[in-house]
């Protein structure tokens, strides 16, 4: 199973002081040296953490795969087309959110998603969509000709230590199994950490995980390299 390391929280700390450090570009280098299979950044419309400067520099130094999360608008698509990340994940955004927790409603915004995805794919950029663990949403992504989906694990992560965890895990399993039936690639992310990730790994349907906050938070105590290495061990089931 692949591990995509999301480094937004490094930029959040930098922007809190409007300083030069910590630099997410340096974090990306260290993450790759520590075993990250790809680097993820979310370039938000409000630029609250990752900046266009970061994206441009990351494109020059990332040796694995650079993934850009973005809201599906043509303004953001134009930035992606200039920068050429390896993949874009289309995600929702809300001005008052701390972080995006839900998936895109693909059925409601299908025309906009199709337009943005079409432009990205024409430029050779792979496209994925963050959706909730719902088979109808997976079907809607497939109908648009997009062959990769990222399943939102936030509802499970928020309930991993109570009785709702089983229900949320089953939703993830069903959505992933359905995507597999459609010959789609399946990734998952949002809220995963060292305590709750193993149950998602055990589902066996998922190709890769997108993990960010937990890795950066634990790096305060153990260092980023050790944090990533421990997560790699967990998702490879070598624990």
Provide the domain count of the chain.
Answer: 1
Tell me the pLDDT band of 78, cut-offs 50, 70 and 90.
very high
pLDDT tens, residue by residue, 148-186: 999 999 999 999 999 999 999 999 999 999 999 999 999
CA 120 to chain CA centroid, Å, is: 17
- What CATH number is attached to the domain comprising 140? 3.20.20.70
pTM of structure: 0.95
Residue 120 belongs to domain spanning: 2-235
Pairing mode of beta strands 2-6, 38-42: parallel
DSSP H or E run through 228: helix 224-235
DSSP secondary structure string, 101-141?
-SPP-TTTTHHHHHHHHHHHHHTT-EEEEEE-S-HHHHHHH
Distance CA 144, CA 134 (A): 16
Q: Tell me how far apart the alpha carbons of residues 44 and 95 are, in angstroms, rounded to a whole number.
A: 10
């Amino acid at each position: 199973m692949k591990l995509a390391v999301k480094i937004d929280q490094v930029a959040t700390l930098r922007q809190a002081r409007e300083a030069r450090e910590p630099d997410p570009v340096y974090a990306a280098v260290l993450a790759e040296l520590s075993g990250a299979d790809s680097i993820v950044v979310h370039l938000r419309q409000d630029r609250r953490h990752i900046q266009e400067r970061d994206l441009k520099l990351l494109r020059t130094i990332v040796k694995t795969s650079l993934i850009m999360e973005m809201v599906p608008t043509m303004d953001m698509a134009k930035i992606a087309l200039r920068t050429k990340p390896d993949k874009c994940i289309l995600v929702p955004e809300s001005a008052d959110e701390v972080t995006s927790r839900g998936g895109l409603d693909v059925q409601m915004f299908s025309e906009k998603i199709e337009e943005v995805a079409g432009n990205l794919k024409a430029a050779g950029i792979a496209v994925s969509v963050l959706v909730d663990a719902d088979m109808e949403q997976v079907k809607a992504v497939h109908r648009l000709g997009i062959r990769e989906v990222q399943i939102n694990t936030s509802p499970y992560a928020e309930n991993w230590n109570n009785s709702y965890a089983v229900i949320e895990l089953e939703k993830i399993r069903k959505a992933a199994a359905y995507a597999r039936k459609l010959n789609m690639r399946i990734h998952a992310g949002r809220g995963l950490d060292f305590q709750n990730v193993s149950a998602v790994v055990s589902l066996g349907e998922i190709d890769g995980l997108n993990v960010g906050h937990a890795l950066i938070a634990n790096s305060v105590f153990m260092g980023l390299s050790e944090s990533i290495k421990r997560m790699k061990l967990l998702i490879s089931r070598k624990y």
